[in-house]
Amino acid sequence: MSSALLDLSGYIKFFIGLFALVNPVGILPVFISMTNYQSNAGRNKTILLQIHQLLSFYVHHY
């Protein structure tokens, strides 16, 4: 059980580091300024497209 906790701890540390690296809160103003010409539906489509591309990249490479 101790090794499982270490594995969980490792995962938590990894995702906290990844979250800090990506900084989704800090990138929000950039995303809004780059998509301010789009309607809400267009902005949502852009978000879904980017999520799809990101997930496809990770699934393909890992």
Using one digit for the tens of pLDDT, what is the confidence trace for 43-62? 999 999 988 988 888 787 66
Alpha-carbon torsion, ordered 54, 57, 60, 61, to 10 deg: -120
Using one digit for the tens of pLDDT, what is the confidence trace for 33-47? 988 999 999 999 999
The answer, as to whether pTM is greater than 0.75, is: no
Lookup: tokens for 19: 């979250």
